[in-house]
Structure 1
C-alpha cells in the first residue's frame, strides 16, 4: 500500500488523504471540491490555523505580517514566489498579526515579518526579516 499524507483543504479546512505520489497532480477536496493546491499562500485565520498547523501532514510555513509593515509588503511577492516552488510538499500561509493577535501572541511574535515553519503542530524553525524568494525556499527546505 502506498504512503499517503493528510492535506488540509485551503477552502473548507477538511482533511483529505492524498497518496504521496499524487501530491504533484494537485487534486480536489473530497468535501467542497476546491483545489487542494493553489501555488499561492493561503490566508490563515483563527478558523483555519490549527487545522493547517496541527492536523495536516504537510509542513506549514507561516508568514506573520501586518498591512502597515513596509518590509512585510516588500516580502509578499517573494513569499508568493516561494509558494509556487515549495507546493505541494509544503503549505504556505500568511497570518495578519493585527487581525489574529491571539495566534501571534501564542507564537510570541515580536517583530514582523517573521516566518515560522510548523511540522506536526510544533515550531521547527523561525526567521525574522524580509528575505528574497530563493532564501525563503532554501531556508524552508533545509528545515523540512
Structure 2
C-alpha cells in the first residue's frame, strides 16, 4: 500500500505487525518526508531537521502491547470501527491533535472489529472510545466524537492531571 506525505499507513504488502507498520509523515518544519515505525524507542524526529514528528500508528490484538503499552510517550488510543460515521469524522481531528502534540504523544488507532480482545479488555460499549495510556496504564477515557480543539483540551488536561504542568522549555510533562 503506498502512502501520502500527510501520514498514511505503509505496509509494503508484508503483513500487519508492528515491525512492518510504518506511517509516512511530512515534517511540519522542513517538509521532508519521513517514515515513522509503529513501535520504536524514544519518539520520532525528522531525519533532516530533527524536529519532532507526529507519531501515528495502527495496532491490533497481536501487537498492541508493543505498539502502545511499551511506548515511552503517553498514548492516545482511538478505538473505532469502519462502519461508524462519528469515528470517521473524529479521525482527522485526532490526527490534528497528534500533529499539534508531536513529540509529546503517540496516537494509536485500533479497529475494534478486527481486535475483539482489546474491545473486551477496555470494555468498549460505544465507538469511538478514546483512551490515554501512560506506560500502559489508562489515565483518561472519553466516548464519542468531538472537534479537534475539544480533544486537544481533553488530552492536555488529562496529561496535566497525570504528570503535572508541562515544562515550557521542553513541552514535556515535568
Fold match (TM-score > 0.5): yes
Check conservation: 2:70, 2:135, Cα contact below 8 A.
yes
Q: Equivalents in 2 of 1:112, 1:14: separation in Å?
A: 25
- Give the gaps of 5 or more residues in structure 1: 1-7, 29-36
Q: CA deviation at 1:52?
A: 2.9
Q: Equivalents in 1 of 2:129, 2:76: separation in Å?
A: 10
Q: CA 1:14–1:81 in 2, change beyond 3 Å: closer, same or farther?
A: closer
Q: Equivalents in 2 of 1:13, 1:76: separation in Å?
A: 17
1:26 equivalent in alignment to 2:45: yes
1:106 equivalent in alignment to 2:121: yes
Under a length normalisation based on structure 1, what TM-score does the superposition of the two structures give?
0.75
Deviations 1:48-85 (A, max 9, x none): 31123322221110011000001111111111111111
Check conservation: 2:54, 2:106, Cα contact below 8 A.
no
- Give the gaps of 5 or more residues in structure 2: 1-17, 23-36, 160-174
Under a length normalisation based on structure 2, what TM-score does the superposition of the two structures give?
0.63
Check conservation: 1:61, 1:116, Cα contact below 8 A.
yes
CA RMSD for the aligned pairs? 2.6
Give the length in aligned residue pairs. 124
Q: Which runs of 4+ in 1 moved over 6 A?
A: none
Which structure ranks higher in relative contact order (CA pairs < 8 Å, sequence separation ≥ 6)?
Answer: 1
Q: CA deviation at 1:40?
A: 5.6
SS of 2:109 mapped into structure 1? strand
Deviates more, 1:52-61 or 1:108-117: 52-61
Q: Which structure has the greater CA radius of gyration? A: 2
